Amino acid sequence: MKALTRFSLPSPPPRCGWPNPNHPNPLPNHLSFASASSSSAAAASLSASAHPSLDKPPVVVVGSANADIYVEIDRLPREGETVAARTGQTLAGGKGANQACCGGRLAHPTYFVGQVGDDAHGRLIEDALSSGNVRLDRLSRVAGAPTGHAIVMLQSDGQNSIIIVGGANMSCWPDDPREEDLKVIRRAGVLLLQREIPDRVNIQVAQVAKSAGVPVILDAGGVEAPVPKELLNFVDIFSPNETELARLTRMATETFEQISQAAIKCHKMGVKQILVKLGAKGSALFVEGEQPIRQPIIPAAKVLDATGAGDTFTAAFAVAMVEGKPNKECMRFASAAASLCVQVKGAIPSMPARTAVIELLQSIQVEDVMKISD
């Protein structure tokens, strides 16, 4: 097996490592999400649930971390063609890191279990997660592979095409999960997985979570190969977008009736709940034996970048679920978070603070009341 080390950098405080009371981002007594321009009045308007508590079961994300190399283009190049990008920049991302950062910014204790290379991209990701209030105790640096990265081709309408290089996300995982990682998973409120790390790792940690009574949410994003039946056996909520749902079920998903039939096929595969992200058409939750719950989008003032919207939706749903909200409220909360996400460029930079999500939901409620009174 190739060498693998925990973060342990010179000079205090260490960036990451074994649990350490002097760690720069231990499970905090207080998280602050206010920007320099935010007023204290806005922070005071948060509900009590906006402040993380040590006794909250954490969100645990096991998954990928990438350096996202963004290029802004007018259109995708044709075969054999070279096009010039308007701008380019490198930002932290990856579906696992995105979801972990979303959980942290939504003021819920969140751990990220993942791997980065011993390189500048790895430090970029570590800094981004730390600034998103994510616990880094279980983040590993591997010597045998570079940090995963992605080329994100962002078009002027906010749509994107992405090419992923797995790097440390797909290499150097130990044969068996580390006991320290399993301890965190066993006491989680929910385990979030995606498909940008090896299936065998997902299967191992999902089995442990299931045995401990921890709900498992699997985001379908990542590799295009069929989801192993063994993994689905441990999944409580399966969350594809409509394209992924069509590919995995080999069924059409152009209409809501077709999506419903594809969800039924997923039920037959053993998953009781299917949470489908439908882009501009909103989202839908299919619970076996119940009527579907449909959630329209909460319109964004502007759409700049949809890169992290699906990850934001899934993670926000998970946070609301752990906090005991009913399914309809979970979906509304997730929709509000995704609406804010698409208005900012970059995946992790676009993850919204809980203050902003609550304020958006409150503004919608006021609008609804005004419409009724009219």
CA angle 267, 307, 82 (to 5 degrees): 120
| Three-state DSSP class for residue 1 | coil
**Can you list the positions of beta strands (E) in the chain?**
4-6, 59-62, 66-73, 87-93, 110-117, 139-142, 148-155, 160-165, 190-195, 216-222, 237-239, 273-277, 283-287, 293-295
Find the helix or strand (DSSP H, E) in which 40 lies.
helix 40-44
| Residue ranges of the binding site for substrate | 66-68, 94-98, 196, 311
> Both tokens of residue 162?
């992405």
177: Cβ–Cβ under 8 A, 6 or more apart, which residues? Answer: 201, 204, 205, 208
Whether the upstream peptide bond of residue 13 has omega within 30° of 0, thus cis, is yes
CA 301, 125, 312, 33 dihedral sign is negative
Say if residues 331 and 295 touch (Cβ distance below 8 Å).
yes
Structure tokens at 232: 């689905």
The residue among 47, 2, 18 whose CA lies nearest residue 323 is 47
Q: Which amino acid does the sequence have at 184?
A: V
Picking from 125, 120, 3, the residue whose alpha carbon sits closest to that of residue 63 is 125
Buried b (16+ CB within 10 A) or exposed e, 95-111: bbbbbbbbbbbbbbbbb
Per-residue tokens: 359: 């304020």
Cα–Cα dist 350/97, whole Å: 13
* Count of beta carbons in the 10 Å neighbourhood of residue 43: 15
Residues tagged active-site: 311
User: What does the alpha-carbon distance between residue 223 and residue 218 come to, in Å, rounded to a whole number?
Assistant: 13
DSSP type of residue 298: -
